[in-house]
Structure 1
Amino acid sequence: MAKRKVRKKKNTQRGKSFWVEIKRFIAIVCVLIVAIIGLSFLYLHYVPEEKAQKVVDGIVQKVPEIIESKAPNKLKTENLPTGAEIPVLKNGAKQQIIKHEGYTVSYNSDFKIPNWVAYELTREKVSNNKVKRHNKFIPDPEVKGATALNEDYTRTGYDRGHMVPAGDMKWSEKVMRETFYFSNICPQDRGLNSGVWNDLEMTIRVWAKEHKRIYIACGPVIEKDLKRLGKNRVGIPRMFYKVVCDPEKAQSIGFLFENRDYKQTSPRDLAVTVDRVEEVTGIDFFSQFPNEIEKEMEAKVDLKFWSFFR
């Protein structure tokens, strides 16, 4: 309870400081407008017309630059650092972070499945379909410790479910192979894998084309009492999650799936806030965004911003 009060107090303080910053920004803009009007009046009345016009035009041209430099972080997301899609694990689960060319994975050697996978998907990558899918599932050479194997899935009724879809990685032979590492695979209900989960994967590729670039993180919900699969005792998730963010527009959306067949359900019907996904998973997403932007975009979902097939 004490932690909640402290967190609430911090969020309140952040909110207050943000609104102070907004008010300061508005005041600066007002002062600039008044200054421009005043200078324009003086020049137009006491300086030759041609020279006055040049000076006024120069000032007007610089106004956007001045406003941009004084704008609070609320208005800036284009300067995010490389790797801003990488989540932060806060649930105490075991992890080994592995950076592949196409994605980054937090691998859990206790359950032989990922805690999360994360990557950036761009319009250029989605439009590049030079590589065909292949189906050679192999252990991740970077994994330290135990790993799942093909025989763990044999005759179990579960699919070897991709977290990073092979369909997102057709732009390179190497990254296509990386998606078939077992560090990127989970036991997944066949109806889920080929149904609403696949529908969302296809939808996200459309979003990447529409929004130029998006950040994606997904994985299983790790719980201590997961059932096991095969000789290597691979964890069978009860739930999966996926979060997506448009970094330029500061819009995000989350999804939660039970590990079952949803039949004709649309991904739209399973949309939740990123805040909700964080509550369920114990993972902090998009933590490198300015605090106020992160707080606002993760607290809501604008379904009009995200287009769905159905």
Structure 2
Amino acid sequence: MTKKIFLISILLLSLFAFESKYLPNYNIDIKCDKILHKKAFDICYSCKWKTPKMVVYQVDGNLIDSKNLSRKHLRFKPDYQLPTKCRSYSKDYSKTGFDRGHLAPNAVFDYDRKVQKETFLMSNIAPQKPKLNRRLWTKIERFVRLQARKYRKISVITGVCGSNGTLGKKRHNVNIPKWWYKIIFLPNGKTICFLVPNINTEMSRAKAKEFLVQIENIERICNISIRKE
């Protein structure tokens, strides 16, 4: 009986505990089918959704302006670290009205070509409405880089949650997130959080500050828990 309880405990830990070296001293309770450790970020991935649920990384203010390598010749590619049944492909997004939205952003890691290429793996991508991706989300990611320049090094969680359907059976049933969020962990212990609906409406003129929330709002809406040890 004791052995059975032990095995169940190990199973639950693998399903709901997500730890990342980029966010030390924090426990994250979230169900991950696969945990992928890339060169500069960690991914909690959902095989059912065919997208990441959450990506954790650090932003170094000393590096983000060091090279700015072009993304011109980079292409989105499937992640062969994932089993075939879990993968999504760039063509799944073609003519769907959704952009291939990065969770770990290219602009943070364009100082290193190998890391930059990993941001274009489909394990780091989820459907994002174009006006959100190209307008409001760009402002939020620019704000992250400003904080990194100010504090020199910060930790970040980018995640998606909820569902507005899928891209379709012929497209590997890729989940369309209802929400995108970003949590910035500052060295002083404070957090800055954004929670944004995955829509086009009014995103062209929207201001990032309009989507500031407390971390508890993200935890409640996305059914996750992020606790400091």
- TM-score, with normalisation over the residues of structure 2? 0.83
Residue-by-residue CA offset, 1:136-161 (whole Å, 9 max, x unaligned): 00011211232111221111111111
Q: Is this contact kept in 1: 2:22–2:41, CA < 8 A?
A: no
Aligned partners of 2:119, 2:27: CA distance in 1, in Å?
19
Please show how residues 49-68 of structure 1 align to structure 2 within 5 Å.
none
Aligned partners of 1:252, 1:212: CA distance in 2, in Å?
15
SS of the residue aligned with 2:147?
Answer: helix
Aligned partners of 1:94, 1:213: CA distance in 2, in Å?
26
Partner of 1:131: 69
Q: Which amino acid aligns with 1:104?
A: D
Aligned partners of 2:57, 2:63: CA distance in 1, in Å?
12
Q: Does the alignment pair 1:103 with 2:44? A: no
Bigger Cα Rg = 1
Please show how residues 1-310 of structure 1 align to structure 2 within 5 Å.
82-84=21-23, 88-90=28-30, 93-134=31-72, 135-144=74-83, 145-223=85-163, 226-230=164-168, 231=170, 232-246=172-186, 248-261=187-200, 262-285=203-226, 287=227, 289-290=228-229
In structure 2, relative to structure 1, the CA distance for the partners of 1:155 and 1:264 (3 Å cut) is same
SS of the residue aligned with 1:194?
Answer: helix
Aligned partners of 1:94, 1:82: CA distance in 2, in Å?
16
- TM-score, with normalisation over the residues of structure 1? 0.62
Tell me how far 1:124 sits from its aligned partner: 1.8
SS of the residue aligned with 1:125?
Answer: coil
Residue-by-residue CA offset, 1:239-268 (whole Å, 9 max, x unaligned): 11111111x211101111111122211111
Q: Which amino acid aligns with 1:158?
A: F
Identity of aligned residues (%): 26
Unaligned residue ranges in structure 2 (runs of 5+): 1-19
Residue-by-residue CA offset, 1:175-222 (whole Å, 9 max, x unaligned): 100000111111110000001111111111111010111110012114
Unaligned residue ranges in structure 1 (runs of 5+): 1-80, 291-310
Residue-by-residue CA offset, 1:272-297 (whole Å, 9 max, x unaligned): 01121111112223x3x34xxxxxxx
Tell me how far 1:94 sits from its aligned partner: 4.5
Tell me how far 1:130 sits from its aligned partner: 4.8
Aligned partners of 1:154, 1:270: CA distance in 2, in Å?
29
Partner of 1:308: none
Q: Is this contact kept in 2: 1:131–1:172, CA < 8 A?
A: yes
Partner of 2:13: none
Q: Which amino acid aligns with 1:280?
A: I
Q: Is this contact kept in 1: 2:22–2:56, CA < 8 A?
A: no
Q: Is this contact kept in 2: 1:115–1:222, CA < 8 A?
A: no
Q: Which amino acid aligns with 1:109?
A: C
SS of the residue aligned with 2:58?
Answer: strand
Q: Is this contact kept in 1: 2:64–2:145, CA < 8 A?
A: yes
Report which of the two has the higher share of helix.
1
SS of the residue aligned with 1:83?
Answer: coil
Q: Is this contact kept in 2: 1:94–1:110, CA < 8 A?
A: no
SS of the residue aligned with 1:151?
Answer: helix
Displaced runs of 4+ in structure 1, greater than 3 A? none
Which structure ranks higher in relative contact order (CA pairs < 8 Å, sequence separation ≥ 6)? 2
Q: Which amino acid aligns with 2:23?
A: A
Q: Which amino acid aligns with 2:127?
A: P
Tell me how far 1:87 sits from its aligned partner: 5.9
Q: Is this contact kept in 2: 1:137–1:180, CA < 8 A?
A: yes
Q: Which amino acid aligns with 1:136?
A: R
RMSD: 1.8
Q: Is this contact kept in 1: 2:38–2:118, CA < 8 A?
A: yes
Return 127-136 or 255-264, whichever deviates more: 127-136
Q: Is this contact kept in 1: 2:182–2:195, CA < 8 A?
A: yes
